[in-house]
Every structure is written in C-alpha cells, then in structure tokens.
Structure 1
Amino acid sequence: MAYAIKTEIEDPQAETFVFAGQKTMYVGKHIAEGDVVFLFASENEGGQGLIARGVVTSSEPTPRRPDLERQTPRVS
C-alpha cells in the first residue's frame, strides 16, 4: 500500500528521512515496513511539494493520549 507524509523537511536532498510522531494521511496508522511512502515538503513551511518516493524500513504507532477525545493517528 502507498502512503503520504506532508511535513517540514529540512534537507530535501538527504538519502534517508526519519520522522517522529508524524501525522499521516489516508489511513496512515496502518503504515508498515515495506510500504511505499510519498514525501511532501509542506508548502506552508516553505517546501516544494512532492520531493521523494521511498520505502518504509520501520514504523511504530504513537501511543494514544487518554486526555484527548479525538487524536490524529501518528507514527514514528
């Protein structure tokens, strides 16, 4: 399955990317090793839009916070 992540990316030329506690788009809470991911450098943060396509090497869901009624799924 393919997923998308839109975030501020400091070095779009980097060979690898690591994201901690990142909001995911389109049912991203199911992202897993081997999945395809499209990286979008957020235009709101000065980015250029789609910058890379990659493969997930590992993922881990961010634990839910009991004090929040609704929480956007996040993964690292």
Structure 2
Amino acid sequence: MAFAIKTEIRNPRAKVFTFTAQKTMYGGKHIAADDVVFVFASENEGGSGLIARAIVASADATPRKIGVIRQTPRVSITVRRTASAARLLGRDQLKRFKDWGDGRPETELNFKFYRQATNKIAGISDETAAFLDRFF
C-alpha cells in the first residue's frame, strides 16, 4: 500500500522530511519503513500541493493520551525524497473531482485531502499511486 501526506512543509526542497505526531485517516496509521509516500505541501500553510515522492525511513506510532476516549491515531515519520514533482497537483487541480463514487484517482485525492481540509497521512489505492507517479 502507498501513502500520501498533506501537511505544512517549511523547506519544500529538503532531501529529508520529519513529520511529528501527524493525524492519520483512511489507513494512514499502517504506514511503515520502506513504504512509498507522496508529499503534499498544505495550501492552508502556504504550500503548493504535490512536491515529492519519498520512501519512509522510520515510522513510530504516537502513544495515546490517557483518559481521552476518542483519539485519532497519530504517527511520526521520517521520509527521504526520491523524486521532485515536475507538474503541479493540488487543491485547484483536484476540486472539480467531486463525484465520490466515480473511482478516479483525482477524486480519491480530493475526497481524502480536501473534503476535510485537515492535514493528515492517508493510505491511497494502487491506482492513485500510479496516477501520482506520472507527476515525476
């Protein structure tokens, strides 16, 4: 399974990124070392969308807080860039894909990242990973 992360990126040209206690959804809590992850710089924090393909160097689950009943699983990861995006892909390019049942990779990304605009790590389908590979 491949993954994608949308979060604040302070240095979009970095070769290594460390993301601490990131919210996970859609299977994102299963991310592990050696998984492929597509990195999106969150437009909510001034980013431009897809910036990199990377390999997970380490992934560690964040311990749950004692006494809090409903908690979204969080994971801290370190990833190494393997490629930089050659074409733009972000909220503006994906917002027209709103037919949630059409099975398109663009719709999956719009649904997982922009329907609820919080930053997160999400599992993505093989079809969506192949689609994203075309941007490098």
TM-score scaled by length of structure 1 = 0.91
Between structure 1 and structure 2, the one with the greater Rg is 2
Whichever structure has more helix as a proportion of its residues is 2
1:4–1:26 contact (8 Å) kept in structure 2: no
Map 1:1-76; keep pairs closer than 5 Å.
1-76=1-76
Output the CA distance in 1 between the equivalents of 2:51 and 2:25. 16
> Number of aligned pairs?
76
Letter matched to residue 33 of structure 1: A
Shift in alpha-carbon separation, 1:25–1:48, aligned structure 2, 3 A: farther
- Return 5+ residue gaps in structure 2 as ranges: 77-136
1:33–1:57 contact (8 Å) kept in structure 2: yes
Shift in alpha-carbon separation, 1:72–1:6, aligned structure 2, 3 A: same
Output the CA distance in 1 between the equivalents of 2:54 and 2:24. 15
Q: Which moved more, 1:27-36 or 1:64-73?
A: 64-73
Q: Structure 1 vs Structure 2: percent identity of aligned residues?
A: 67
Shift in alpha-carbon separation, 1:20–1:41, aligned structure 2, 3 A: same
Displaced runs of 4 or more, over 6 A: none
- Return 5+ residue gaps in structure 1 as ranges: none
